[in-house]
Structure 1
Amino acid sequence: MANVEAAVKAAWKAIDEERSYATELTQKLVRIPSVNPKFIKDPRQNRESAVQDLVEAELSSIGMSVDRWDVFPERPNVIGQFAGSEERSLLLCGHIDVVPVGERSTWTVDPFGGEIKDGKLYGRGAVDMKSGVAAAIGAVRGIHAAGIELQGRVAIHSVVDEESGGFGAIDAVKRGHLAKAAIITEPSWGEIQICEGGLEWIRITITGRQGHSAWRYNELWPQRERPDRLRPAVNAIDIAARFLDALRNFESSRCRNRQHPLLPPGMNTINVGAMRAGAGLGPDGLPLIMTNPAIIPDVAVIDLDYKFLPNQTKEDIRSEFEAFVHHFCQQDLWLQKNPIKVEWELGGMHFPPLNTPPDHPIAQSLFKRQTQLGGKPKISGVVFVTDAGHYVGAGVDAVICGAAGDGFHGIDEYVDIVSLEETTKTLAATIIDWCGVK
C-alpha cells in the first residue's frame, strides 16, 4: 500500500509539472475536425485519420507500443499499451469521432477553434469526448514521467464511429483488445457512473394490400370483398397508426413498472425515430413508391430506438417485445394472416447494458481519488449509451469517468479545464491502484 500511495503522489506531481498538457492536447485534437462521415461527407471535416496521427504520436512519445488499423477506409483505431500482467490489466477508451456542428451561425465561437475563455475550452468534441482521450493519455504520461513501472498491462483505446453505433470499439473487441477492467472516459460531471441501459434498433415492417384509393377496405364496409369484384385494399398506414397507439401504451407500462435505482424513472423509452410508407417493398426493405396518395400503401416501415434497463438482458426484452407484437396481431383478422415483421439489430446496432456493482474496486478507487482531490463524487448511472456496453458484452468490467462540460451534440460545446485536470489525476491514481506497482 505504501508503494502505491507513494506512486500516486509521484504521478500527481509529474502531472502538475505539466498541468496544461491535457488541455493543450484537447485543444490540438479539437482543431482537427473529425465529423463522423456517416453524418456528413466532407473531406475538410472527415479527418479522423489526422486526429489519430496525433494520438499515435503522443502514445509513441511515452514509449507505448501502438497498434493501428482501419475499421473503415481512412477511419483508423489506435491502441497503445504498456505490457504487464493480464490479471491486473486495464484499458481506457475514448472515441475521436464527433457529430456535425449544425448551423455555424448559432455558435458564438469557432466550432473547431479550440478557444479558451473563462476556464472553458470550446469546440466540437471538447467534452464529447476528445478531452477524455487527452485525460487518459495525460494520466499514463504522468505515470511514465514519474518513472513508475506498473504490474498490470495498461492500454489506451482511441476509437472511431462511437457516434453512429460504436463500430470502432466493436472491431477492437473482435480483434481481442480486451482487459480485466475498463474506464470509459466519457463526460461524467464528477460522478462515477457504473450503469447504463442497453439499446436496440428495431425495424417494424407492416404489410397491407395495395390498391386504388377508391376501393379501400374499412370496418364500415366489411363485406365489400366479393368474388365478382376487385379485392379491397388494406392500408398499411392505418394499421401503423393503431400500432403506434398500442406501442405508446406498452412503453408507458414498461417505464412505469420497471425501474433501476441509479437511473431516473422512464429512461427505458421506445423512440419512434423514422417511418416510411408507400407501395411496394424494395430490396433495401423500404417502400418503392412514396409520392402517390391515390395508391393505398401496402407497406409501412417503422424504425425504433429501444432502450432497456441495466439489469435486463437482450433475450428478456426481445421476448417481451415480440410477445407484445404477437398479441397486437392476434386482435386483427388481417394481421393474423399477415403478421408484423420484427427485425433486430437494425444496421448492426446493439449496445449491451452496463451494470457494474458499486463496490467494484475500479469504482471505489475512482471515488476515493476524486475525494482526495477535493471533489464530491457520487455513484450514479447514465441515461445514454457508450462504448462501455461493447466491452461489457465481451466480459470486461467497466466504469465511466470523465470531465465536466456542456453543449455536446449542441452549440458552443465546451469542457471545464479544472475538471479536465482533476480527471487526469484521478485516472492516473486509479490506474496505479488497479494495475499495481512493481
Structure 2
Amino acid sequence: MSSDLKKKLLDAQDKEADIAMLRAAIGRQSVTGDEHNFVNFLSETMADMKLAPCTGEFLPERPNVWSTGSGNADGPNIMFVGHTDTVHVRGWAENWKGTEREDPFAAPIIDGEIWGRGACDLKAGICAALGAKRLLDTAGIELEGNVSFAFIGDEESGEEGTGVSAGAKDLVTRIKSGEIAKPDFVIYVEPTKLDVYTAQIGFFIADVKITGKSAYFGTPHEGVDALKATHKILSAIWKHGEELTQGDSHAFLGTSDILVTGINGGGYIAVPGECNISLIRKLRPGEQLDEAVAAFEAAVHSVEAEEGIAVSISYPAGRDHSHGGSPVEISPDHPAALNLADCIKEICGDRGVIGGAPYWSETPFFVNEIGCPAIYCAPGDISVAHTFEERVNVDEYLAAIRAFALFIARYCGTKI
C-alpha cells in the first residue's frame, strides 16, 4: 500500500506547476512590515485550491492568512505554519549587478536551484505545504483527518519597529479563543534540508550602556572613564560565557553560550564618557529565560562599580518572552515526528534525520502557549538565508511536496 501511494503521488505531481508556484511566491516582495503583497498571493492560491482562506490583521495593514481545514474535522488535525515576511534586499542588486540574479524577486533557475529573497526562508516551505495538499487532491486521495494552514507575519527582525512575532501572537490568540481550531500537530516550515527538528535554541539580546563622564585628555582626572569600566564588564561577561560552555550540553544543540556582537564608545581626544555593548545569549532547551537573564545581570553587576559609573541594560528583542525567545523541545521520539522522518526517508533516502534547530523561530508559541507539539521541517539550507546566496534546490523542493503529502496521508488517514 505504501509503495502504491508513493507511486501514485509521483505520477500525479505536476512539477512545472509546483515550480511556477514557488517562483511566483518569490516574485511577491514581502520584506517585514510589507507582508500583504505575499498574503494576497497566498489568499488567491488557497482560494483556487478551495481552501476557503481567511485573513485578519495582526497590525494595521499587516495581515495573516489561514485556512481552518480541508478534510474531516473529526479526525486528526495537522497545521502547516510559516512566516510570510523576509529580510531586506539592501545590496542584493549591487552584488549581482549584470547577472541574471540581479533582481532579488525574479526567481531565476540556475544549475537546478531557484534563486531569490525568500527562496529558502521560507517560501519553499510554504509552497511545499500547499503543493502537498494540491498533490493529494490531484491524486484523488481523501483524508480521514484535517489539514490546516496558517501563514503569519513579523517573524524576521532587522526592520525598525518590527520583528516581535506579532503575527504568531495573533494566531495563538485566535486559537485560544476558538476562532481557529487547535491543531494536534504543527509543522513550522523553516528550512532544515528536510531533516526534522524537535528542539530549538532560545536567546536574548542585551544592550548594555556604560555611562561615565567625558573630560579633556589634558585633565583626565575631571572625567570618569567609561571604557575602563567597560573592559571590566566585558571580562565578567566572557567569564560567564566560559562557565556556560563548560556546563550541561544538549544532545542536538550543545552547550549554552554568550557572544558579544558589538562595542561602541569613546570620543575625540577625550576621556570616553559612554560605551555601549551588544550581545546575544544562546539558551539550550531546558533553560529558563528569567534565570538566564538574572545570571547575566549578576555577572555584569559583579564588577565593582567605580564612583560616577552608571550601567543600564535593555532587551530589544522580546518574542514569546519579554526579554527574548524561549528554547523549546518535544520528545525526539514523538510518534508524529518519527512518522514524518520516515516519510522523508522513503522519498529522499538520506534526509529525515531527527535533530535540533540552531536558530530561534516560533514553535514556542505552539508548544508552550497552546500545548501543541511542533517541529521544524522544510526544504532549504538555513546557512544561505538572509544572504545574497539565498536559493533552494529544485529537486529537494519537489521531493518535499511528495514527502509532506505522504505524511499527511499517513497522519490523517485516508478513505478507501
Q: Which TM-score band applies after superposition, normalised by the shorter structure?
A: 0.7 to 0.9
Alignment deviations for residues 290-340 of structure 1 (CA, whole Å, 9 cap, x no partner): x6654651x4343322211122121331232233223x23x34538xx663
1:72 paired residue number: 59
Q: How high is the sequence identity, in percent, across the aligned residues?
A: 26
Q: From 286, 293, 299, give the equivalent of 1:324.
A: 299
**Which residue of structure 2 lines up, in the alignment, with residue 130 of structure 1?**
123
Q: Verify: 1:144 aligned to 2:117, yes or no.
A: no
- After TM superposition, the structure 1 = structure 2 runs for residues 348-427 of structure 1, keeping only pairs within 5 Å, are 350-377=324-351, 378-394=353-369, 395-405=371-381, 407-427=384-404
* Cross-structure match for 1:31: 27
Instruction: Find the aligned partners of 2:205 and 2:287 in 1 and give their Cα distance.
Output: 16
> 1:296 and 1:74 mapped to 2: Cα distance?
44
5+ residue gaps, structure 1: 38-45, 218-231, 279-290
- Deviation of 1:127 (Å): 1.1
Deviation at 1:373, TM superposition (A): 1.3
Q: Map of 1:15-54 to 2, 5 A cutoff?
A: 16-37=12-33, 46=34, 48-54=35-41
Verify the 8 A CA contact 1:354 1:398 in the aligned structure 2.
Answer: no
Measured after TM superposition, the shift of residue 13 of structure 1 is 5.0
C-alpha separation between the residues in 1 aligned to 2:347 and 2:166? 35
Structure 2 gaps of 5+ residues are: 158-162
Q: Is the 8 A contact 1:11 1:143 kept in 2?
A: no
Please say if residues 115 and 390 of structure 2, whose CA atoms lie closer than 8 Å, have aligned partners that are also in contact: yes
- Render the CA deviation track for 1:354-394: whole Å, top value 9, x for unaligned: 21211112210111111221422321112122222333332
AA aligned to 1:20 is E
Deviations 1:71-127 (A, max 9, x none): 334332111231654883221112222222324232242322111132211111111
Whole-angstrom distance in 2 between the partners of 1:434 and 1:25: 25
Secondary structure of residue in 2 paired with 1:163: coil
Q: Deviations over 1:174-225 (max 9, x none)?
A: 33255232111121113111111001122323343455555445xxxxxxxx
What RMSD, in angstroms, separates the aligned Cα atoms of the two structures?
2.9
1:428 to 373, 396, 405: 405
Residue 206 of structure 1: SS of its match in structure 2?
strand
Tell me the secondary structure at the aligned position of residue 187 of structure 1: coil
Q: Conserved in 2, the CA contact under 8 Å of 1:352 and 1:390?
A: no
Name the counterpart of 2:260: 272
Larger radius of gyration: 1
Equivalent positions of 1:59-208 (< 5 A) are: 59-82=46-69, 84-85=72-73, 88-101=76-89, 102-107=91-96, 108=99, 109-110=101-102, 111-164=104-157, 165=163, 166-176=165-175, 178-208=182-212
2:160 is matched with none
Q: Number of aligned pairs?
A: 392
Cα distance, 1:344–1:174 mapped onto 2, change above 3 Å:
farther
Change (3 A) 1:346 1:54: closer
Q: Give 1:341's aligned residue.
A: 312
Query: Retained in 1: the 8 A contact 2:208–2:312?
Result: yes
Q: Is the 8 A contact 1:352 1:392 kept in 2?
A: no
Asked if the contact 1:136/1:424 (under 8 Å) is kept, the reply is: yes
Secondary structure of the residue aligned to 2:250 is coil
